[in-house]
Amino acid sequence: MNNVIIQDLKEISATGCTNKWCKLPYPNNKNGCPNYGKKDCPPKASLFENIISPPFKLVAIRFKIEEHAKRMKEKHPDWSDKQARCVLYWQKGVDKKLKQECEEIADNNIILYKPEAHGINLFATCKNIGLVLKKNPQKIVWKMAIIGKRV
């Protein structure tokens, strides 16, 4: 499996509730994402159909979180699994790679680095191209962006 997927999309799956997922509670964040209401996040983020149109491309970066956690535990034997998987230690590098890949092919198009904030259901969209995402992944994490024409 490639570490980078660049795929033309025939369709994007969207639901009215995708951008509300940001408000779902998760450990240490009972009100959901602390970025809700800031920057390009809901409810400030426009729905994708108001800002981009076909043709669409999906850009996905594969990150082996299980291998990363193992390396971090070797480096820090007293760390918990949660500490070893913390986004603070891997997400910036993956985001940088995603941005590089997107900018190489964007050609003055719009790049949505937070597709779900714009109402895109990545689980359904990826399933349409044969990429099955998992909730709470333990082995592989995907970071994704959607590229489309300006509306």
Q: What is the pLDDT of residues 73-123, one digit of tens each?
A: 999 999 999 999 999 999 999 999 999 999 999 999 999 999 988 889 999
Q: Rounded to an integer, what distance in angstroms lies between the CA atom of residue 88 and that of residue 79? A: 14
Query: Is the pLDDT score of 45 beyond 90?
Result: no
The CA-to-CA distance between both ends of the chain, in Å, stands at 34
Query: Is the pLDDT score of 1 beyond 70?
Result: no
The pLDDT value recorded for residue 44 is 83
Segment 16-35 shows an average pLDDT of 81
Question: Cα-flanking dihedrals φ and ψ of residue 38, to 5°?
Answer: -115, 155
Specify the range with the lowest mean pLDDT, choosing from 3-12, 22-31, 84-93, 129-138: 22-31
Question: Cα-flanking dihedrals φ and ψ of residue 19, to 5°?
Answer: -75, -10
For residue 133, name the pLDDT band (cuts at 50, 70, 90).
Answer: very high
| Strand-strand pairing, 141-150 and 52-63 | antiparallel
Q: Rounded to an integer, what distance in angstroms lies between the CA atom of residue 130 and that of residue 63? A: 18
Q: Rounded to an integer, what distance in angstroms lies between the CA atom of residue 129 and that of residue 20? A: 24
The pLDDT value recorded for residue 93 is 96
Query: Is the pLDDT score of 22 beyond 80?
Result: yes
Query: Is the pLDDT score of 28 beyond 70?
Result: yes
Question: Which one is predicted more confidently, 25 or 112?
Answer: 112
The pLDDT value recorded for residue 39 is 72
The pLDDT value recorded for residue 33 is 84
Query: Is the pLDDT score of 17 beyond 80?
Result: no
Q: Rounded to an integer, what distance in angstroms lies between the CA atom of residue 22 and that of residue 17? A: 10
The one-letter code for the residue type at 53 is: S
Structural tokens at position 65: 């979180």
